[in-house]
Chain A
Amino acid sequence: MESNGKRYWRGLEELENDLEFVKNAEKEFSDAPTVVEEGSNPNRRDFLKLLGFSVAAVSVAACQAPIKKAIPYLMKPAELDPSIANYYASSYFEDGDYASILVKTREGRPIKIEGNPLSTITVGKTSAKAQASVLSLYDTERYQGFMKGKDKISIEKADEEIKAKLDGASNIRLISTTIISPSTTAAIKVFLDKYKGAKHIMYDAVSASGILEANKESFGKAILPSYDFSKAEVIVGINCDFLGTWLSPVEFSAQFAKGRKLSKEKKEMSRFYAFESRFSITGANADYRTAIKPSQEGAVVASLYKKLTGTDTFKDAKINEKLDRAVKNLKAAQGKALVVSGSNDADVQQIVNAINHELGSYGTTIDINTPSHLRQGIDANMNAFIDEIKSVDAVIFFGVNPCYNHSRGKELKEGLGSVKTKISFSLRPNETSALCDYVCPTHHYLESWGDAQPKEGHFNLIQPTITPIFNTRQAQESLLIWANAKTTNFYDFVRSYWNKSLFPAQKQQKNFDEFWAVSLHDGVFAGDAVAKAVDEKKEAKQPATDTLAVVKPRVMVAGAFKGDVEGALADIAKEYKTEASADLEIQVYEKIGIGSGMHANNPWLQELPDPISRACWGNYVCISQVTAKKKELSQGDVVKVTVGSHTFKLPILIQPGQANDSIAVAIGYGRSVTGKVAKGVGVDVFPLVNKKGYQTSVTITKTGEYEEIAQTQTHHTIMGRDIIQEASLTEYKAKASAGRNIIMVHTDEGPKRPTDISLWKGHTYPNHSWSLIIDLNACTGCGACVVACQAENNVPIVGKKEVLNRREMHWIRIDRYYSSDANPTEEEIKNSKGARKEGSYGEMEIPSDNPDVTFMPMMCQHCNNAPCETVCPVLATTHSNEGLNQMTYNRCIGTRYCANNCPFKVRRFNWFHYAEDTRFTDINNTQTNDLGRMVLNPDVTVRSRGVMEKCTLCVQRIQAGKLDAKKEKRRPKDGDIQTACSQVCPTDAIVFGDMLDESSQIAKMIAEEHDKRAYHLLEEINVKAQIAYLTKIRNTDETKARFKADEHGGHEEHKEHKEEKGEKHEKSEKHG
Chain B
Amino acid sequence: MNVSSPVRPALVLKQVHDKNRPTTYHDITNDICKQVEASINVRWMGAMAISLIAFSWGSYCLYRTWWFGLGEWGLNKTVGWAWDITNFVWWVGIGHAGTLISAILLLFRQKWRTSINRAAEAMTIFAVLCAGSFILMHMGRPWLANWALPLPNTYGSLWVNFNSPLVWDVFAISTYLTVSTVFWYVGLLPDLATIRERATNPISKFVYGLMSFGWDGSAKTWARYEMVALILAGLSTPLVLSVHTIVSMDFATSIVPGWHTTIFPPYFVAGAIFSGFAMVLTLMLVTRYVFKLESYITIEHVETMNKIILVTGSIVGIAYITEFFIAWYSQVPYEQYAFINRMFGPYWWAYWAMMSCNVISPQFFWFRSMRRNIYVTFALSIVVNIGMWFERFVIIVTSLHRDYIPSSWVMFWPTYVDWGDYIFSFGFFFTCFFLFAKFLPVINMAEVKAVLKSSNETVSDDYADDDYNKTEVKTSVTHH
Task: Determine which residue in A813, A841, A895, A899 has the highest number of CB atoms from chain B within 10 A of its CB, and name it.
Answer: A895
Inter-chain CA distance A308–B333, complex, in Å, is: 49
Number of A-B contacts (CB under 8 A): 172
* Stretch from B212-220, B253-261, B383-391, B465-473 that touches the partner: B253-261
Interface residues of A in 1045-1068 (CB under 8 A from B): none
**B305 on interface, CB distance cutoff 8 Å:** no
Q: Which of B158-173 contact A (CB under 8 A)?
A: 158-161, 163-167, 170
Please encode chain A, from 868 to 912, with 1 for each CB lying within 8 Å of some chain B CB and 0 for all others.
Answer: 001111110000000000000001111111011101110111111
Within 8 Å by CB of B410, from A806, A815, A894, lies A806
Check if A932 is an interface residue, CB within 8 A of chain B. no
Chain B nearest CB, measured from A897 CB (Å): 6
On chain B, the residues within 8 Å of A872 by CB distance are: 161, 164, 166
Residues 402-424 of B, flagged 1 when their CB comes within 8 A of A and 0 if not, give 11111111110000000000000
Complex partner residue of B140 from A815, A871, A910, CB under 8 angstroms: A910
Tell me, yes or no, whether B8 is within 8 Å of chain A by CB. Answer: no
Q: Does A715 contact B (CB under 8 A)?
A: yes
| Contacting pair B164 A904 (CB below 8 A) | no
Most chain-A Cβ atoms within 10 A of its Cβ — which of B144, B341, B400, B402?
Answer: B144
B253 cross-chain contacts in A, Cβ below 8 A: 870-871
Q: B80 contacts the other chain (Cβ, under 8 Å)?
A: yes
**Selected contact of A900 from candidates B81, B159, B160, B163, CB within 8 Å:** B81
Establish whether residues B81 and A873, one from each chain, have CB atoms under 8 Å apart when the complex forms.
Answer: no
Cα–Cα distance between A858 and B340 once the two chains are bound (Å): 27
B residues contacting the other copy or chain, number (CB 8 A): 53
- Give the size of the chain A interface in residues (CB under 8 angstroms): 60
Contact of B140 with A873 in the complex, beta carbons under 8 Å: no
Binary flags per residue of A819-858, CB closer than 8 Å to B gives 1, else 0: 0000000000000000000000110000000000000101
**Chain A residues whose CB sits within 8 angstroms of the CB of B255 once the complex forms:** 867, 901, 903, 1021, 1023
Bound form: Cα–Cα A378–B402 in Å: 51
- Is the beta-carbon distance between B77 and A899 smaller than 8 angstroms? yes
Complex contact A816–B74 (CB within 8 A): no
Most buried by A among B75, B332, B337, B407: B407
Whether a CB of chain B sits under 8 angstroms from the CB of A199 is no
A713 touches B404 (CB 8 A): no
Question: Which residues of chain A come closer than 8 Å to B250, judged between CB atoms?
Answer: 897
Residues A893 and B406 in contact, CB atoms below 8 Å apart: no
A307 at the interface (CB under 8 A from B): no
Question: Are the C-beta atoms of A910 and B161 separated by less than 8 Å?
Answer: no
Minimal beta-carbon separation of A570 from chain B (angstroms): 48
Binds A, one of B64-72, B102-110, B223-231, B356-364: B64-72
| Cβ B70 vs Cβ A946 within 8 A | yes
Are A945 and B69 in contact, CB atoms less than 8 angstroms apart? Answer: yes
B75 contacts which of A841, A895, A910, A911 (Cβ < 8 Å)? A911
Q: Is A718 in contact with chain B by the CB < 8 A criterion?
A: yes
Known A-B contacts A874-B160, A897-B164; A718 and B170 likewise in contact (beta carbons under 8 Å): no
Q: Is the CB of B80 within 8 A of A900?
A: yes
Report B75-110 CB contacts with A as 1/0, cut-off 8 Å: 111101100000000000000000000000000000
CA distance A119 to B282 in the complex (A): 76
Is B19 part of the binding interface, using a Cβ–Cβ cutoff of 8 Å? no
Q: Which residues of B contact A944 (CB under 8 A)?
A: 141
- Report how far A277 CA is from B337 CA in the complex, Å: 35
The answer to whether A873 and B409 touch across the interface, beta carbons within 8 angstroms, is no
Choice from A815, A867, A897 contacting B405 with Cβ under 8 Å = A815
Instruction: Given A807-B77, A870-B163, answer yes or no on A894-B141 (Cβ-Cβ < 8 Å).
Output: yes
The answer to whether A817 touches B407 (Cβ under 8 A) is: yes
B305 CB to nearest chain A CB (Å): 35
Q: Out of B78, B165, B332, B334, name the residue touching A905 (CB < 8 Å).
A: B78
**In the bound complex, how far is the Cα of B78 from the Cα of A1020, in angstroms?**
21
List chain A residues, Cβ under 8 A from B147. 874, 891, 893
The complex places the Cα of A911 from the Cα of B65 at a distance, in Å, of 10
Give CA–CA (A871, B165) in the complex, Å.
Answer: 6
Set of chain A residues within 8 Å of B78, measured between Cβ atoms: 806, 905
Q: Does B48 contact A (CB under 8 A)?
A: no
How far is A24 from B362 in the complex, measured between Cα atoms in Å?
98
**Separation in Å of the A422 CB from the closest CB of chain B?**
46
Interface: B148 (CB within 8 A): yes
Is there contact, CB below 8 Å, between A911 and B71? yes
Neighbouring B residues of A913 by C-beta, 8 Å = 68-69
Are A873 and B164 closer than 8 Å at their CB atoms? yes
B328-345 at interface with A (beta carbon < 8 Å): 332-334, 337, 340-341, 344
Cα distance, A815 to B406, chains bound together (Å): 9
Residues 995-1024 of A, flagged 1 when their CB comes within 8 A of B and 0 if not, give 000000000000000000000001011010
Residues from chain A with a CB closer than 8 A to the CB of B75 are 896, 909, 911
Per CB-CB distance, the 7 closest pairs between chain A and chain B, nearest first, are A894-B140, A946-B140, A911-B71, A806-B76, A896-B80, A905-B408, A815-B407
What is A's interface to B at a CB cutoff of 8 Å?
A: 713-721, 723, 802, 805-808, 813, 815-817, 841-842, 856, 858, 867, 870-875, 891-897, 899-901, 903-905, 907-913, 917, 944-948, 1018, 1020-1021, 1023
Q: Give me the interface of B with A, judged by CB distance under 8 Å.
A: 68-71, 74-78, 80-81, 138-142, 144-145, 147-148, 158-161, 163-167, 170, 250, 253-256, 332-334, 337, 340-341, 344, 400, 402-411
**29 pairs of residues in contact across A and B, judged by CB atoms under 8 Å:** A713-B407, A713-B408, A716-B406, A721-B334, A807-B77, A815-B407, A841-B344, A858-B405, A871-B163, A872-B164, A872-B166, A875-B159, A875-B160, A875-B161, A893-B142, A893-B144, A896-B75, A896-B80, A896-B138, A897-B250, A900-B254, A900-B400, A903-B404, A904-B408, A910-B69, A945-B69, A945-B140, A946-B69, A1021-B255
